Amino acid sequence: MKKENPYHNESMFKGAPASSFAKAENLRNNLTVAEDLLWQALKGNKVNGLKFRRQHPVHLYIADFYCHKLKLVIEIDGTYHNSKNQKLLDLNRTNDLESQGIKVIRFSNQEVENNLKEVIEKIKEISKELISNIN
């Protein structure tokens, strides 16, 4: 009998290792300014009635924000994401998650802090597209 790869299942954690959960809790307790701003805008199903989770273990990673219904990850990137090495790591992470049917979108800290309204509009737009693909 063929054993199922735990990272390609349909659970909201995609087989995340147990060690990720304590790390995620620590991250939830220490949000960046940009993460907290976006969380205040997302929590309580405020965007298209969708439930988002913050600092959520999914596969081998911890997503800044995750909507399981849409299989949507939102990442908020600080300036260290501008380095060549980190860009490559981010690309590999995105490709890995997208290979499992998860859509990944990224915003910089500056976008969230200076243009939160536009960020929310973009999330709403992408969410509507993903909802129409489900229905």
Please give the pLDDT value at position 53.
94
Please give the pLDDT value at position 135.
64
User: How distant, in Å, are the alpha carbons of 62, 90, 118, 132 from that of 27?
Assistant: 9, 18, 25, 32
Please give the pLDDT value at position 3.
46
Please give the pLDDT value at position 1.
45
Please give the pLDDT value at position 16.
67
DSSP state of 43: T
Partners of 54 in the beta sheet? 65
Please give the pLDDT value at position 87.
85
Signed CA dihedral, 106, 111, 117, 118: sign only: negative
Per run of 10 residues, the mean pLDDT along the chain (length 135 residues) is 47 64 71 95 95 90 93 88 81 91 95 97 96 81
Domain 15-134, CATH number (from 3.40.640.10, 3.40.960.10, 2.60.40.3080, 3.10.20.30): 3.40.960.10
Domain boundaries, the chain: 15-134
pTM of structure: 0.82
Please give the pLDDT value at position 2.
43
Please give the pLDDT value at position 15.
66
User: How distant, in Å, are the alpha carbons of 31, 72, 112 from that of 62?
Assistant: 13, 13, 19
Please give the pLDDT value at position 98.
93
Please give the pLDDT value at position 6.
45
